[in-house]
């Protein structure tokens, strides 16, 4: 199985309106409720692709109960979340049909008690024994120390399980020093880590800091990857318009599946770009359009530039 960790889960709400106009009232044309948080989104995509997946992290209160209710019927997905006393946060995505973009509202995470963190650490260690790969995704909730991801990476490496890290800020800085197999930042997160706005230079710098491979998201321009096998760029044939919420998580799902299977890098990047674009084309956050995925897979351009310095 493939394991995903979401320490800051969320109940995601998506509202679709004809046009988002500040200071006015809006009639919602369509609404959707989904279990969320980066690692949960990754797990749902993996399960939809046919992979046996386990979700762990935290969930609590009425929103946490609702999140788990929504996860329960998902085929090939197992809930191994740790219950917290504090309620799981909510996020709201408002899709503006006229503009073709999305406005996001994210609540702060619920605090995690020391006993809850200890319970999670035990469960995580137990789950690693059956995992082919693990993804550590998203922000850290209050009560979880800033070096948590570095700690979890070292535990995974000790168990012989390859690990992908998708976070930002100081958790990324500390986590990358623990030598994860893959990190998947976007351009802003890379700039915050390295101080460079040049994605290529920043990705190479990030890899020198400890990651075995760095896959940088360039938005509609695709992905830039610096790996032990060289420097690669992958891009869709044309920009895809729609709701970008969850597109990065779909890319992580593809990269994680490739990590678990030791797939060659060109194939990993092709799948990641196509799946990300297919998620943008979906009207609901965190889901992908299978028809768009099938159409794009043979059209993604992957080029090798040179070996990393």
Catalytically active residues are 249
Residues in Cβ contact with 283 at an 8 Å cutoff, skipping those fewer than 6 apart: 16, 30, 95, 242, 243
- Alpha helices for the chain (secondary structure H): 38-48, 61-71, 114-128, 148-158, 169-176, 187-194, 199-208, 247-261, 265-280, 290-296
Q: Which two tokens stand for residue 131?
A: 């995992």
Rounded Cα distance, 81 and 98, in Å: 38
CA distances from 184 to 113, 223, 248, 259 (A): 28, 10, 9, 12
Q: How many CA atoms within 13 Å lie on the side-chain side of 240?
A: 29
Q: How far apart are CA 42 and CA 39, in angstroms?
A: 5
Distance CA 161, CA 173 (A): 21
Beta bridge partners of 133: 2
Closest of 161, 117, 189 to residue 4, by C-alpha? 161
Residues pairing with 217 in the sheet: 186, 223
Q: Which of 305, 307, 293, 297 is nearest to 233 (CA)?
A: 305
Strands 163-166 and 301-304: unpaired
Phi and psi dihedrals of 89, rounded to 5? Answer: -75, 170
């Amino acid at each position: 199985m493939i394991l995903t960790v979401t320490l800051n889960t969320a109940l995601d709400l998506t509202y679709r309106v004809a046009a988002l106009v500040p200071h006015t009232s809006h009639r919602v044309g369509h609404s959707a409720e989904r279990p969320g948080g980066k690692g949960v989104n990754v797990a749902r995509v993996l399960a939809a692709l046919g992979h046996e997946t386990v979700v762990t992290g935290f969930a609590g209160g009425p929103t946490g109960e609702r999140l788990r209710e929504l996860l329960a019927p998902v085929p090939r997905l197992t809930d191994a979340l740790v219950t917290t006393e504090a309620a799981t946060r909510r996020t709201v995505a408002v899709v503006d049909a006229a503009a073709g973009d999305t406005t996001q509202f994210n609540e702060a995470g619920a605090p995690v008690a020391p006993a809850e963190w200890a319970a999670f650490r035990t469960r995580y260690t137990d789950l690693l024994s059956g995992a082919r790969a693990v993804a550590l995704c998203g922000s850290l909730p209050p009560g979880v120390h800033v070096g948590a991801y570095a700690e979890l990476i070292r535990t995974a490496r000790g168990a012989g399980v390859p690990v992908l890290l998708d976070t930002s800020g100081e958790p990324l800085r500390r986590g990358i020093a623990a030598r994860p197999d893959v990190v998947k930042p976007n351009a802003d997160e890379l700039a915050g880590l390295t101080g460079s706005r040049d994605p290529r230079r920043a990705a190479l710098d990030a890899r020198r800091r400890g990651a075995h491979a760095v896959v940088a998201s360039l938005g509609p321009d695709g992905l830039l990857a610096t790996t032990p096998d060289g420097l690669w760029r992958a891009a869709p044939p044309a920009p895809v318009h729609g709701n970008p919420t969850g597109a990065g998580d779909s890319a992580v799902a593809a990269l994680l599946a490739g990590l678990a299977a030791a797939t060659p890098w060109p194939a990993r990047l092709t799948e990641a770009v196509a799946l990300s674009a297919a998620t943008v084309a979906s009207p609901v956050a965190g889901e992908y359009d299978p028809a768009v995925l099938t159409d794009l897979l043979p059209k993604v351009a992957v080029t090798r530039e040179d070996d990393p310095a």
